[in-house]
Amino acid sequence: MGHAPANPAPRHVAVIMDGNGRWARNRGLPRKAGHRAGAESVRQAVEACLERGVEFLTLYAFSSENWNRPPKEIDALMGLLEDFLRSKRREFKKQNVRLRTIGRTHLLPPSCREELAKAIQETAQNTGLTIILALSYGSREEITDATRRVALKIKNNELEPDAISPETIAAHLDTADFPDPDLLIRTSGELRLSNFLLWQLSYAEFFISTRNWPDFRKADFLEALEIYSRRQRRFGRVSAS
Ligand code: FPP
């Protein structure tokens, strides 16, 4: 007797794309080559999401902490991001994909900000998959910025302290326009959140793959969605049935 999946496809998948450097090292290649191969896995992840009707895909593309990497590697990552945006803009329009960002993107190099602004503007009306790039993103920084915005409203008598609810906090985060992720995928076997969506992942299911991100291709992404669909989510309640 067949069992119906416990869950439909996740609405929102968040991904920590880890292991590009290790993938490159294992092959005696520069780290940049790992990031380039990782960009191809991004394309395949997008295809998987389009195929399964995932509505939101958040990708941890550059963390606040990544600013501490050597300038050469930072340049390579920004260059890859720009290439990705340039090569994908027309396709995003065709695929009904909308692009958004979270994080302190004002810190990114001007050329990168320009490509982002163009892609965001040109895809703003699209209603299919929303790709959310986390860039210069750190969850503690995001919560700090949100707290400042809430404090300012209190100072300006627009908000009473007693009126602050979890919804108030959520509405002041960079992710205010998006539902919480249902599924977190992390590659390269690490069991850490690494300052990613600390608030938003409260009830997410985790899928950890031992593969490095450049080896995590469409079939692996589809497998993660499939495994998710068989999990029972309880949100702190007792299970139904
Ligand atoms: C982690 O691997 C990955 C990153 C810091 C960057 C992710 C970027 C991409 C996949 C490419 C460009 C992005 C887009 C959206 C086209 P790591 O370098 O920390 O690997 P390691 O832990 O093995 O050193």
Catalytic residue among 66, 180, 195, 215: 66
Provide the number of structural domains found in the chain: 1
Domain assignment present for residue 197? The answer is no
pTM, 2 dp: 0.95
Q: Which residues form the domain of 138?
A: 14-187+203-229
**Structure confidence at residue 240 (pLDDT):** 64
Domain assignment present for residue 3? The answer is no
Residue with CA at minimum distance from ligand 1 atom 8? 61
Q: Which atom of ligand 1 is nearest to the CA of 63?
A: 5
Domain assignment present for residue 173? The answer is yes
For the chain, helix, strand, coil in percent to 5 are: 50, 15, 35
CATH number for the domain spanning 115: value is: 3.40.1180.10
Domain assignment present for residue 76? The answer is yes
From the CA of 101, how far away is ligand 1's center (Å)?
Answer: 17
Residue with CA at minimum distance from ligand 1 atom 11? 39
218 lines ligand 1 (CB under 6 A): no
Domain assignment present for residue 9? The answer is no
Annotated active-site residue 66? The verdict is yes
Cα maximum dimension of the chain: 62
Count CB atoms within 10 A of the CB of residue 4: 8
**Structure confidence at residue 1 (pLDDT):** 47
Residues 6 or more apart whose CB falls under 8 angstroms from that of 71 comprise none
Mean pLDDT by 10 residues, the chain (241 residues): 72 98 98 98 98 98 98 97 94 96 98 98 97 98 98 98 98 98 98 98 98 98 96 80 57
10 lines ligand 1 (CB under 6 A): no
Domain assignment present for residue 195? The answer is no
Domain assignment present for residue 30? The answer is yes
In the three-class reduction of DSSP (H, G, I as helix; E, B as strand; rest coil), residue 65 is classed as helix
Domain assignment present for residue 235? The answer is no
Residues 6 or more apart whose CB falls under 8 angstroms from that of 221 comprise 44, 45, 48, 49, 185
**Structure confidence at residue 4 (pLDDT):** 65
> Is there a contact between 110 and 36 (Cβ–Cβ < 8 Å)?
no
**Structure confidence at residue 239 (pLDDT):** 75
Q: Which atom of ligand 1 is nearest to the CA of 36?
A: 11
Is the sign of the CA dihedral 89, 92, 94, 98 positive or negative?
negative
